[in-house]
């Protein structure tokens, strides 16, 4: 990446509270998604919830880090999610392919849909409860919050104007 194309006023390092809050938002959303699908069990095992968690671990926790974060300016640095630091723990710089990373980013659109479909399945299978509906409501609202927060991170990002996934161009 050429340094001169970077957004000069972008932050070299995001504040700790930003990183903490944005990661907490992700974790809470995933935890609610996990809980929503909990009743979808086979032989007593919550397979849908476990599959969802495994999918997150493999895609967000590993593949997207290798293909997006290892090639990012923030590799080894505190980006808005701190994932540049996390990636540097297990992956060398430029280990991945940014084009593959862009394709894989579709995962962020699929992830919110899984618990919604799962929750509808729970209701259709006779598991309706107001608690479930409330969880699904909070899940949808928090995903909306995440969508609203995203451009704010991009607005302070060094890659703001050169990143294909930037929400603040
Ligand atoms: S511009 Fe936005 S999507 Fe791209 S690296 Fe920066 S924060 Fe991430």
pLDDT at 47: 98
Q: What number of other Cβ atoms are within 10 A of residue 108's Cβ?
A: 15
Q: How far is the CA of 92 from the centre of ligand 1 (A)?
A: 20
Cβ neighbours, 10 Å, residue 22:
21
Is residue 6 scored above 80 in pLDDT? Answer: yes
Domain that holds residue 61: 3-155
> What total of structural domains would you count in the chain?
1
pLDDT in tens, 69-85: 999 999 999 999 999 99
In a domain, 160, yes or no: no
Residue 87 lies in a domain: yes
Question: Does the C-beta of 154 come closer than 6 Å to ligand 1?
Answer: yes
Please report the pLDDT score of residue 3 as a whole number. Answer: 52
pLDDT digit string, tens, across residues 86-145: 999 999 999 999 999 999 999 999 999 999 999 999 999 988 899 999 999 999 999 999
pTM: 0.93
The pLDDT mean for the chain works out to 96
Is residue 169, in this structure, part of any structural domain at all? no
- Report the distance separating Cα 72 and Cα 137, nearest Å: 34
Domain assignment of residue 168, yes or no: no
Is residue 54 domain-resident?
A: yes
Q: Is the CB of 67 under 6 A from ligand 1?
A: no
157 ligand 1 Cβ < 6 A? yes
Asked if residue 162 belongs to a domain, the reply is no
The 3-state DSSP class for residue 42 equals strand
Q: Is residue 166 one of the residues assigned to a domain?
A: no
The C-alpha atoms of residue 72 and residue 132 are separated, in whole angstroms, by 39
Q: Ligand 1 pocket, 15 CB below 6 A?
A: no
Tell whether 21 is covered by a domain. yes
């Amino acid at each position: 990446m050429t340094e001169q194309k970077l957004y000069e006023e972008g932050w070299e390092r995001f504040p700790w509270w930003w990183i903490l809050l944005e990661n907490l938002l992700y974790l809470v959303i995933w935890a609610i998604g996990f809980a929503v699908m909990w009743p979808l069990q086979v032989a007593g095992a919550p397979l849908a919830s476990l599959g969802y968690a495994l999918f997150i671990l493999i895609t967000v926790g590993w593949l997207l880090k290798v293909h997006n974060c290892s090639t990012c300016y923030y590799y080894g640095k505190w980006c808005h999610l701190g994932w540049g630091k996390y990636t540097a723990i297990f992956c060398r710089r430029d280990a991945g392919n940014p084009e593959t990373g862009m394709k894989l980013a579709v995962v962020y659109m699929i992830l919110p849909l899984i618990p919604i479909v799962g929750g509808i399945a729970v209701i259709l299978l006779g598991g309706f409860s107001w608690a479930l509906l409330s969880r699904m409501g909070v899940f949808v609202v928090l995903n909306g919050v995440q969508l609203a927060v995203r451009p704010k991170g991009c607005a302070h990002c060094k890659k703001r104007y050169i990143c294909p996934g930037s929400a603040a161009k």
